[in-house]
Amino acid sequence: MSSYILALDQGTTGSTALLIDQALTIKAKANQEFPQYYPKPGWVEHNLNEIWTATLNTIQTVLKESQVPASQIAAIGITNQRETTCLWDRKSGQPLFPAIVWQCRRTKDICDKLKKQGKEKLFRKKTGLVLDPYFSGTKIKWYFDTYSELYKKDISFGTIDTFLVSKLTQNKVHVTDPSNASRTLLMNLETLEWDEELLDILHVPKNILPLIQSSSEIYGKTKNVPGLPDGIPISGIAGDQQAALFGQACFNVGEAKCTYGTGSFLLLNTGSKIIRSHYNLLTTVAWKLSNKVTYALEGSAFIAGAAVQWLRDGLKIIQKSSDIEALAKTVSSSEEVVFVPALTGLGAPYWNASARGIISGITRGTTAGHLARATLEGIAFQNYDLLIAMQKDLGKKLSSLKVDGGASVNNLLMQFQADLLQTPVIRPKFVETTALGAGCLAGLAIGFWKDLSDIQKSWQKDEEFSPQMKSQERTIHLDKWKSAIRRCL
């Protein structure tokens, strides 16, 4: 049997490739960033050819650095930025337009119009989602509204997972999984099929949509991929946040994780039960294994690590993202400074696409250190709002929260998060669990691992952050945050 699973994690700012063995040990890792494009205020785009090139480069780099022959790859798993919307020519496989990224707010007017028509309740009931520019459905509608000639062309739609599978199979396979399909505003949560009524409302032709299959099965095999032999099974797909839940071994009802990436995403396993949120959270598919569907509650903050990138690239007060912790530690507190990082609107539980970021409490004594600390605290405050809503829907307090993603290595942020939540925060030894989850799904499909218990016993804790902040200090922090949020809305 071949020795490794190749996991491809195609994120918002870069592509990552991992080689994973049966003990869930990372043999090698490669990452390459690619550009984001902002053609208008609130618009965010990607070049799909640049994404494909970055993916190929990471595959070649991880094989070269590990000195693992490509013949030792048993299967490929894919995880991806989710709602990002792609259209390509069905025959040639060539992208027709820049991809519209999940952060893009260009479809706000479409969403507002649908709300005025009284459609939000229907979409909420059928998809578990709210009518927000975040999701793929209104992005597809925007393409067709803007370029009406598309109705006459032979095209394919997909989220990034679908695009990558198409490229890996030389444009032979057009498929997605329920975790990604459930983010489109087009899939019925109960049937796990494309919903004809919703397609009609958004004027989306059904023939452009991929086949919805499970999250762990053989969809196709590699064909003419540079650096890879033909015939490697592609056998695992999950949206990045669901893949992280899987990679964190949150297989039981009530277990939750938070991923600190470009955005911040909190998911809670609700098992086979579809829980309808009363506090503006999303209901989504976590994964489907064989015929068994696992659902989740989700809260999303659009900006987390991206706020740190803004300090780096926009304000240039740090040279690299990892510098922020040291800068934040130059002050003992953020004083009165509060940063609401609503740089592309606010997600759950507010869902305000028009909201914009604010920094309050600035004085002549405010330094870059105060702003750095307030940025980290702003990320944690958003997650506090999400978890409180989630606990209300669940009807009980979580016993712990598992964390992952790039910013989870920041000890200052993790401790503040535990203090706000009054809940232990647990970080695994390997924090990039999105790729790990995709690899696990791929391996399960080919028998690389026998079952979920094989994966669960290999999961390892790195550090646990216990709440330490005094109640009075915590109340002061939360009052400042609530005041800042009111100004932002």
Q: What is the CATH number of the domain that holds 39?
A: 3.30.420.40
Strand runs labelled E in 180-239: 211-212, 216-221, 233-239
Residues in the chain with pLDDT values less than 50: none
Residue 130 lies in a domain: yes
Residues 6 or more apart in contact with residue 26 via CB below 8 angstroms: 18, 19, 20, 430, 436
Residue 475 lies in a domain: no
Residue 153 lies in a domain: yes
Query: Look-up: residue for tokens 């578990």?
Result: 128
Question: Could you tell me which residues are beta bridge partners of residue 406?
Answer: none
Residues 6 or more apart in contact with residue 191 via CB below 8 angstroms: none
In angstroms, rounded to a whole number, what is the distance separating the alpha carbons of residues 485 and 306? 19
Residues 6 or more apart in contact with residue 396 via CB below 8 angstroms: 254
User: Which of the 8 DSSP states describes residue 87?
Assistant: E
What's the number of domains the chain is made of?
1
Residues 6 or more apart in contact with residue 310 via CB below 8 angstroms: 343
Residue 124 lies in a domain: yes
In angstroms, rounded to a whole number, what is the distance separating the alpha carbons of residues 411 and 413? 5
Residue 21 token pair: 């063995």
Contact 262, 379 (CB under 8 A): no
In angstroms, rounded to a whole number, what is the distance separating the alpha carbons of residues 12 and 81? 6
Alpha helices in 128-203 (DSSP H): 136-146, 160-168, 178-181, 196-202
Residue 389 lies in a domain: no
- The SS3 assignment for 171 reads coil
Residue 196 lies in a domain: yes
Q: Using the CB atoms, write b or e for 49-75: b if 16+ within 10 Å.
A: ebbbebbbbbbbbbbeebebebeebbb
In angstroms, rounded to a whole number, what is the distance separating the alpha carbons of residues 87 and 140? 8
Give the model's pLDDT for residue 426. Answer: 95
Positive/negative CA dihedral, 137, 138, 143, 147:
positive
Residue 387 lies in a domain: no
Boundaries of domain holding 74: 4-241
Residues 6 or more apart in contact with residue 426 via CB below 8 angstroms: 400, 401, 402, 403, 461, 463, 464, 465
Contact 404, 9 (CB under 8 A): no
In one letter, which amino acid is 60?
Q
Distances in Å between the alpha carbon of 127 and those of 190, 202, 213, 353? 9, 14, 17, 19
User: Which of the 8 DSSP states describes residue 262?
Assistant: S
In angstroms, rounded to a whole number, what is the distance separating the alpha carbons of residues 389 and 48? 36
Pairing of strands 216-221, 211-212: unpaired
Residue 191 lies in a domain: yes
In angstroms, rounded to a whole number, what is the distance separating the alpha carbons of residues 196 and 114? 17
Positive/negative CA dihedral, 326, 329, 334, 335:
negative
